[in-house]
Structure 1
Amino acid sequence: MTGGDDDGWRASADAWVREQGEHGDYGRAHVLDPVMIPRLRGRGFQTALDVGCGEGRFCRIMAAEGIRATGIDPTPELLAVARDRDPAGDYRAGRAEALDFPDASFDLVVSYLTLIDIPDIAAAIPEMARVLKPGGSLLIANLTSFTSASADRGWQYDAEGRPDHFALDRYLETRPMRVGWRGIEIANWHRPLSAYMRLFLKAGLRLAWFDEPAPTGGPADQAARYARVPYFVAMEWHHTGITDADDGGTAR
């Protein structure tokens, strides 16, 4: 979450907290957590930054894995919930585009479904790389770009009301969009996958893991729908300390 006065997050905070509960919505609990949480274990991570921590759910997960996590978010209503649920946690107001931390501060930086909320990823992604220690990891979960390209159309139904296909349009066009469900009305950004990949590479990051995770349990109807259209992509990037400017323009 990246909250602000005009992106809908402050007005949607209560509905968001109800939707997520303690364990997250279907996509988090049954699709992303099963691949994201194992990336935390046995890796020696001691410090982590959760960029767009919202109500603090993934910070609490990292703390349970023995990682000292700091969460940032610009939505005060969500930070208040995070602090209430985790009084010992470290939750601060902040934005991804200008991280208020020294260089090389964290072993791990996490962006869990927040890249789509950030207007200026050309500033945010280098900032995430900057605060990583050399050899550190940037762990990403995001909507697949063909899902975000379809957000204003989504599932198309047949004459019997059954989901027939998932519409996709204007894939290569970066654009903001308004999305709404169950009392939540927020601004998201669609970008092609290449826009993200170029920025990760330019920031001196090396791709170490990539997945389009399948659903793992939960209500059968939701699992079937998520199995037909992979909504999410998950990635881990490692900090190499070499940017495209350092090696003559060829990112590594």
Structure 2
Amino acid sequence: MKQNKYDETDFFSAYKQMPRSVKGLEAAGEWHVLRALLPDVKDKDVLDLGCGFGWHCRYARQEQAHSVTGVDISEKMLEQARKQTDDPAITYIQLPIEDISFAAEQFDVVLSSLALHYIESFADICQKVYECLRPGGSFIFSVEHPLFTARNEQDWHYDDQGKRLHWPVDHYQLEGVRKTTFLTDNVIKYHRTISTYLNDVMEAGFILKTVREPIPSDEMLKQDAGMQDELRRPMFLIIAAEKVKMESFKRGNIFSRFYVLSV
């Protein structure tokens, strides 16, 4: 199911008011971790899946990427991205992530920020990313953490006074659709376990480089007392992987899987 909530007026209006929408990457609690995992993009060709307002696209060009392609399903999101972008080296394409079809070995870096938990078949996307990456290329993405997406409610348990008691986890092993509330009702996400994320990446042929469960920066924790609750449960999962150059590490190669699991 290719849901496009971002083009619904109420949803988009609420999304535009979020701090990360107004202030950009520095207002995103996980950005300091994702940024540290990005490779040197100078003179590289970059693909951003679920580019939204284009913040990561413009960042890549600031870091002297050769070209950047941003893909997003939402016309409204891309309209905002184009308004904020004055750079012929950045191309925005309105397209569901599931429908991407780029040339083999077209990009050096593929990144995605908080978009792939809206995709039904993560394994298919991993395979498409693998094919369009050049040998030695990097795949870095963030998603909502599986402990966050496990329940439809995706919220804390509260006491009678509205105080947050704990973050409940249930139905963790039951992967699939979650009908959630995020800004508005009936937002479709796809829950999958941590092992599924990791195994789908490896099965596509990648070697895992880093797995992180980021927390807000020290500066954010000091500025906003409410951010302390982000230390009580993980909200995001970030995975960095590489398409290796060596022929012996082809997809499905037994030695490749051994290497991945032993580094």
TM-score by length of 2: 0.84
Partner of 1:80: 79
Alignment coverage as a number of residue pairs: 247
How far did 1:145 drift? 0.5
How far did 1:41 drift? 5.8
Superposed CA offset, 1:191-245 (max 9, x none): 1111111110011101111211121133433321111112111121010263443
Please give the alpha-carbon distance, in whole angstroms, between the structure 1 residues aligned to 2:256 and 2:108. 26
How far did 1:44 drift? 4.6
Contact 1:55/1:81 (8 A) holds in 2: yes
Contact 2:205/2:252 (8 A) holds in 1: no
Contact 1:15/1:184 (8 A) holds in 2: no
Partner of 2:231: 227
Partner of 1:158: 159
**Closer/same/farther in 2, CA of residues 212 and 153 from structure 1, 3 Å limit:** closer
**Closer/same/farther in 2, CA of residues 168 and 243 from structure 1, 3 Å limit:** farther
Q: Secondary structure at the match of 1:187?
A: strand
Report matched runs for 1:1-252 at 5 Å: 4=2, 6-11=3-8, 12-19=11-18, 20-24=20-24, 29-40=27-38, 42=40, 44=42, 46-67=44-65, 68-88=67-87, 89-183=90-184, 186-216=187-217, 217-218=219-220, 219-240=223-244, 242-247=249-254, 250=257, 252=260
Superposed CA offset, 1:32-70 (max 9, x none): 111112233646561110011112121122222222321
Please give the alpha-carbon distance, in whole angstroms, between the structure 1 residues aligned to 2:256 and 2:61. 39
Amino acid aligned to 1:130:
E
Give the number of the structure with larger relative contact order, counting CA–CA contacts within 8 Å between residues 6 or more apart: 1
CA-based RMSD: 2.5
Please give the alpha-carbon distance, in whole angstroms, between the structure 2 residues aligned to 1:59 and 1:183. 27
Q: Secondary structure at the match of 2:98?
A: coil
Amino acid aligned to 1:187:
I
How far did 1:122 drift? 2.3
Q: Secondary structure at the match of 2:23?
A: coil
Amino acid aligned to 2:58:
R
Q: Return 86-95 or 167-176, whichever deviates more.
A: 86-95
Q: Report % sequence identity.
A: 23
**Closer/same/farther in 2, CA of residues 145 and 45 from structure 1, 3 Å limit:** farther
Please give the alpha-carbon distance, in whole angstroms, between the structure 2 residues aligned to 1:208 and 1:118. 23
Hey, which of these two has a bigger chunk of helix by percent?
A: 2
**Closer/same/farther in 2, CA of residues 182 and 176 from structure 1, 3 Å limit:** same
Q: Secondary structure at the match of 2:197?
A: helix
**Closer/same/farther in 2, CA of residues 159 and 32 from structure 1, 3 Å limit:** same
Superposed CA offset, 1:60-101 (max 9, x none): 222222223210112112111111111323101223333231
How far did 1:131 drift? 1.0
**Closer/same/farther in 2, CA of residues 118 and 45 from structure 1, 3 Å limit:** farther
Amino acid aligned to 1:83:
R
How far did 1:187 drift? 1.5
Amino acid aligned to 1:14:
S
Contact 1:98/1:127 (8 A) holds in 2: no
Contact 2:6/2:74 (8 A) holds in 1: yes
Q: Which segments of 5 or more consecutive residues in structure 2 lack a partner in the other structure?
A: none
Please give the alpha-carbon distance, in whole angstroms, between the structure 2 residues aligned to 1:136 and 1:41. 9
Please give the alpha-carbon distance, in whole angstroms, between the structure 1 residues aligned to 2:257 and 2:21. 44
Contact 1:156/1:165 (8 A) holds in 2: yes
